[in-house]
Structure 1
Amino acid sequence: MKIDGEVTTGLGKAAFFLSQDFYTKEFEKNLGFVPYPGTLNIVVDEQHLDEINKIKDECENLIKPDAEFGAVKFIEAVLNDKIRGAIVFPAKTTHEENYLEFISECKLRDELDLNDGDIVNVEF
């Protein structure tokens, strides 16, 4: 699946979670990289929600919760045909359904010179 979406500012909570050893070790083991402590938030058109929810529901890649943190599903993805990373689906989130959170080993806004409102594509 390949979809376009609009870059938007998140809530800033991902930086805390992605800096926790529990998550960084699991992402490194499963994806081969330690994620930059933050996500690129991408708002997609609601017409894609059924497909995205199906992928999320069928996703078997799971970081199980520990005593303090929630579970996270993830699926490998590519941003703008060049940046390898993953879409993460945290069990505990305050985002609307049409928000995707993309992780990679670099700070994507700097790497791709992205600003709020820019259009990106994600393939997963």
Structure 2
Amino acid sequence: MKIEGNIATGYGKGAYFLGQEFYKNKFNEKCGFIPFPGTLNIIVPEEKLEYIKKLKNSSKNTIKSDEGFGGVKYIKAILENSITGAIVFPDKTTHEENYLEFIAEDNLRKKLNLKDGDKVKIQITDF
């Protein structure tokens, strides 16, 4: 399944959490990469919200809360047919449900020269 959406600026909270050793170690163990400290925020169209809810609710990929850190569900995905990463669904989030948070080992805004409003495609790989 492919999802298209537009890049948006987030709140900066992903940078803090992904910079913590707990999450670095867990994502490296489960996804095979240490994530760049920050998420790429992608706003998806309203008509994709049901599908995204199903993805989130049926995902068995989890990082359980521990050491004072909240749990995270994740789904492996590929951005723009070339960047391996994951869509993350933190237990605690301040984003609306039409925001997807994508993580990868690189700073994706810089690597792909992305700015707010740019359209991107995500291919779900493990659903």
Aligned to 1:55: 55
CA shift, 1:68, in A, is 1.4
* Cα distance, 1:2 vs structure 2: 0.3
Which residue of structure 1 aligns with residue 92 of structure 2? 92
Cα distance in 2 for partners of 1:67, 1:40 equals 25
Q: 1:42 corresponds to which residue? A: 42
Aligned partners of 1:48 and 1:64: how far apart in 2?
Answer: 27
- The question of 1:18 aligning with 2:18 is answered yes
Give the letter for the 1:85 counterpart. Answer: G
Deviation of the 1:67 alpha carbon: 3.5
Matching residue of 1:65:
65
Identity of aligned residues (%): 56
Aligned residue identity for 1:121: K
String of CA shifts for 1:34-53, please: whole Å, max 9, x gaps: 00000000000010011110
What is the aligned residue count? 124
Residue 66 of structure 1 deviates from its aligned partner by: 1.1
Secondary structure (helix, strand or coil) at the match of 1:85 reads strand
Q: How many Å separate the matches in 2 of 1:63 and 1:20?
A: 14
Return the TM-score normalized by structure 2.
0.96
Q: Aligned Cα RMSD in Å?
A: 0.6
Three-state SS of the structure 1 residue aligned to 2:109 is helix
The more displaced of 31-40 and 62-71 is 62-71
- Secondary structure of the residue aligned to 2:41 is strand
Q: CA deviation at 1:72?
A: 0.2
Q: Which structure 1 segments of 5+ residues have no match?
A: none
Provide Cα deviations, 1:16-72, integer angstroms capped at 9, x if missing partner. Answer: 000111111000000110000000000000100111100110000000001311100
Amino acid in structure 1 at the alignment position of 2:111:
E
Give the alignment's TM-score, normalised by structure 1: 0.98
Structure 1: how far apart are the matches of 2:94 and 2:67?
Answer: 20
